[in-house]
Amino acid sequence: MSKHVILTGDRPTGKLHIGHYVGSLKNRVALQNTGDYETYIMIADMQALTDNARDPEKIRHSLLQVALDYLAVGIDPAKSTILVQSQIPALNELTMAYLNLVSVSRLNRNPTVKTEIKQKAFGESVPAGFFIYPVSQAADITAFKADTVPVGEDQEPMLEQTREIVRSFNNIYGQQILVEPEGYFPPKGQGRIPGLDGNAKMSKSLDNAIYLGDSADTIQKKIMSMYTDPEHIHVEDPGHVEGNTVFTYLDIFADDTAKVADLKAQYQHGGLGDVKIKRYLNEVLQAKLEPIRQRREQFAADETGVYDILKQGSERANQVAAQTLHEVRHAIGIDYFG
């Protein structure tokens, strides 16, 4: 019985943070270790360039940082193929083939793209590459015939667009070459962690994140400045747990659920200060992140070795994508010379 195929990845626009760890990285490692999946993990540098073309150094620098974060959390090159998007030429040609199957009006209706265009304040100056990136993403997924794509719920419209392209291609050219992917979603209420400032999402652009490579001192400083309950001014004041970012983090990261429940009761009753709960959160996060940071430092000491991992993974992925492109060309009828 053949394995399911996973494709997932990240844009290299900076180091990865604990939001990425909770939302995707931890899950990728667990899926990889089941042995039930053939896993491709893509560093999507071409996609990152769609809105960072004038700052390519940012992408080049971040490529290594993302690779280090992958290896540090336990993504194993012997079990998962880590690849660099720009090193797979077949993806560009597949994108071009799929663009002919998608209308501009359909791309305009993609709610994920509409939201991101608004967030990035492009106005009328949306880069064409950014506008069509759902098609590029379809090329990424179908090149490896991935049937499983771990994503957040906000990415479901992107997967639906890929499925539409797959159905169109297979119907038009009369061959069931491409595979329709399904999303692998985190359980309800999981997969998204608020920022240190209480913002609904931890984000590199909002500078409200704890990064996997942060030093112990940096983590402590960030925790001690975290948003809690603005009405909890004095220690004796009753405090609110709901919407209190420190308790949200404790619910996610603390293994001692009984202690967290006791701290919540004390805080709500009054008599427990913010500093005490932040100190406990610091203990919890330091214990979780120290092994990751140590592994990251070990890999960082051998950058050449990390680039070799990316090169070898890209070469393996290239063979798979090239075979899919060969099949696509044959189906369309443009393999003129055999």
Residues 119 and 239 grouped into a single domain:
no
Residues 167 and 273 grouped into a single domain:
no
The reply to whether 200 falls in a domain is no
- Name the catalytic one among 79, 201, 222, 288: 201
Residues 268 and 324 grouped into a single domain:
no
- Name the catalytic one among 58, 79, 204, 288: 204
CB contact at 8 A, 138 and 160: no
Residues 99 and 141 grouped into a single domain:
yes
- CATH code for the domain in which residue 229 is found: 1.10.240.10
Q: 168, exposed or middle or buried, with CB in 10 Å at 0-12, 13-18, 19+?
A: middle
The reply to whether 244 falls in a domain is yes
- In the chain, the DSSP E strands lie at 4-10, 37-43, 80-84, 148-150, 182-184
Residues 65 and 181 grouped into a single domain:
yes
Residues 291 and 309 grouped into a single domain:
no
- 58 φ, ψ to 5°? -60, -45
Angle between helices 111-119 and 156-173 (to 10 degrees): 130
> What tokens were used for 87?
């090193």
Residues 56 and 136 grouped into a single domain:
yes
Residues 290 and 313 grouped into a single domain:
no
**CA pair distance 300, 45, nearest whole angstrom:** 20
The reply to whether 196 falls in a domain is no
Q: DSSP characters for 230-256?
A: TT--STTS----TT-HHHHHHHHH-S-
Is 204 assigned a catalytic role? yes
Contacts of 251-259 with CB under 8 Å at 24 or more apart are 252/22, 252/193, 253/281, 253/284, 253/285, 253/288, 254/280, 254/281, 254/284, 255/284
> What tokens were used for 29?
């490692």
Residues 316 and 249 grouped into a single domain:
no
- Name the catalytic one among 3, 114, 118, 120: 120
The reply to whether 337 falls in a domain is no
The reply to whether 150 falls in a domain is yes
pTM of the model: 0.94
- CATH code for the domain in which residue 76 is found: 3.40.50.620
Would you state the pLDDT for residue 193? 87
**CA pair distance 88, 152, nearest whole angstrom:** 25
The DSSP element (H or E) to which 108 belongs, if any, is: helix 104-108
The reply to whether 131 falls in a domain is yes
Is 145 assigned a catalytic role? no
The reply to whether 276 falls in a domain is yes
Residues 107 and 166 grouped into a single domain:
yes
Q: Residue 186 gets which letter from DSSP?
A: P
Q: DSSP characters for 49-89?
A: HTTTTT-HHHHHHHHHHHHHHHHHHT--TTTEEEEEGGG-T
- Tally the domains of the chain: 2
Residues 80 and 179 grouped into a single domain:
yes
The reply to whether 99 falls in a domain is yes
Would you state the pLDDT for residue 190? 62
* Owning domain of residue 273: 212-296
Angle between helices 133-143 and 303-332 (to 10 degrees): 90
Residues 230 and 305 grouped into a single domain:
no
Would you state the pLDDT for residue 191? 62
- Give the mean pLDDT per block of 10 residues along the chain (338 residues): 90 95 91 95 97 96 98 98 98 98 94 89 92 96 96 86 97 96 78 82 85 97 93 90 94 96 95 95 98 98 98 98 98 93
Contacts of 260-265 with CB under 8 Å at 24 or more apart are none
The DSSP element (H or E) to which 262 belongs, if any, is: helix 257-269
Would you state the pLDDT for residue 202? 87
**CA pair distance 303, 290, nearest whole angstrom:** 20
